[in-house]
Amino acid sequence: MGTIKQNRANNIVTGGKIDATDGLNNNVPAANIANASLTNVTAYPPSAGAGVSQLASDPPSPTEGQMWYNTTTNTLKQYALGAGSWATGGSLNTARLAFSGTGTQTAALAIAGYTGTVNIANVENYDGTSWTEVNDLNSGRRETASAGSSTSAITAGGYTTTQVALAESWNGTSWTEVSDLNTARRTMPGAGASNTSALVFGGFGPSPGTPENTVTESWNGSSWTEVSDLNTARQAQAGNGSQTSALTYGGNPTTIANTESWNGTSWTEVNDLNTGRNNFSGAGNDNTSALAFGAESPPSAKAFTESWNGVSWVETSDLNTGRAKLGGDGASNSSALAFGGEISPVTSATEEWTKAVAIQTITAS
């Protein structure tokens, strides 16, 4: 079969438009032409080579994902996320460990916990610079699961003298007791956007000596409903995300590295952490972007930090101070907060994780 040509080269007019009078040199059924006039057809897209801008200097205000070739330095560049690092933030008013946090790097809650001698109900709010004491929980305890924002949150479960199922809802001003979990437990993570949409999974309970469990419960603002279980029973793991897109990773009983992803219906095993760990924390709004940090590893806590890109975990810059049983929150693997935790025996220190967007030179590896 011969080549079929369609010659448009001599029918391109100003602005790269096609001259409709004779731009189509082969017969096309009239029924296939949506508009008899093609004068508004825009220019053909540039070739792949022309798709990268050639600039004499880097643009003053590039957008994330933008790429260009600098003709002065003869380098290919992009504006993308660079390497992340931890920096010192404002300290908690009350040093604590074995507690939960929720929110973002600039609007977070630190909820309840253990001072090293007593369970507390204290709650603090972080504004990106400093922590402020706000209204306490109705029931002091440690090892709770929390989810939501600094103005709309829920905390559930925990430990007093035994595992409890208590749940409390935060409206930005005060805490109100709401319906209990179906399964009392402690040392498990929570995920969710607000005090009407949350998820709690795994944990240790319901009574001392009971093994790790796989139970997952979903909160709709008025009651908890059991949904699909985790594939691997665990406690003292970390987790993050929302009611429909969550992640859990690590934990006990044997310092595992297993990671599972939640799609709103079921849990699926995905790629493991590089380093198995327990009693650490995590951050992220969904199952495509997360940060895992800290770890319990006697005789000293660890500063390990790993970043999740939706497919695999990548080791990245460690915490400045290793710690376990710490609070954590944040929106993604580019913005997170670590606070409190166990450091001989308890600390109030806060660290802020930032993975800034920056101009990068693209080189062959």
In tens, the pLDDT along 186-245 reads 999 999 999 999 999 999 987 667 789 999 999 999 999 999 999 999 999 999 999 999
Cα–Cα dist 281/309, whole Å: 17
At residue 27, the pLDDT reads 52
At residue 44, the pLDDT reads 39
At residue 37, the pLDDT reads 47
Number of Cβ within a 10 Å radius of residue 333 = 28
At residue 208, the pLDDT reads 67
Cα–Cα dist 82/353, whole Å: 12
At residue 150, the pLDDT reads 98
Domains of the chain: 1-44 (no CATH), 85-356 (2.120.10.80)
- List the Cα angle 343/150/326 in 5-degree steps: 15
At residue 82, the pLDDT reads 66
DSSP state of 139: S
Within the chain, which residues score under 50 in pLDDT?
1, 3-5, 8-10, 22-24, 28, 33, 36-48
